[in-house]
């Protein structure tokens, strides 16, 4: 009985022939853990990032004339183009 404790691997619960399956399971579980962690992080980044993108891409609210005035104020269109489009909308 005392001699069994001095055999290699006896204190760790290995019987001397099953160590391969234990190592294979630990390697597989480590890879599985990293894959699950990566998927969770990707989903979190998409979930938190989607809220910011949706607000940035919403079109400006208002009537067509308000949008036309804002474009003229920003300098996107010149005076002649503004007056022509304003007449078309009226």
Q: What mean pLDDT do residues 11-33 have?
A: 74
DSSP for residue 60: P
Q: What is the pLDDT of residue 62?
A: 74
Cα 25 to Cα 18: distance, rounded to the nearest angstrom: 11
Q: What is the pLDDT of residue 54?
A: 52
The whole-model pTM stands at 0.39
Cα 9 to Cα 24: distance, rounded to the nearest angstrom: 17
Q: Residue 49 half-sphere exposure, CB side, CA atoms within 13 Å?
A: 6
Residue with tokens 């308000």: 66
pLDDT band for position 23 (50/70/90)? confident
Structure confidence by residue, pLDDT tens digits, 7-20: 555 555 555 556 67
Cα 19 to Cα 9: distance, rounded to the nearest angstrom: 9
- Looking at the chain, the whole-number percentage of residues with pLDDT higher than 70 is 66
């Amino acid at each position: 009985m005392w001699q069994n404790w001095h055999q290699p691997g006896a204190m760790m619960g290995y019987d001397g022939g099953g160590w391969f399956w234990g190592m294979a399971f630990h390697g597989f579980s480590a890879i599985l853990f990293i894959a699950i962690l990566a998927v969770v992080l990707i989903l979190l980044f998409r979930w938190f990032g989607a809220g910011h993108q949706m607000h940035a891409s919403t079109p400006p609210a208002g009537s067509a004339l308000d949008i036309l005035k804002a474009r003229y104020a920003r300098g996107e269109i010149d005076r002649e183009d503004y007056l022509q489009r304003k007449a078309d909308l009226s």
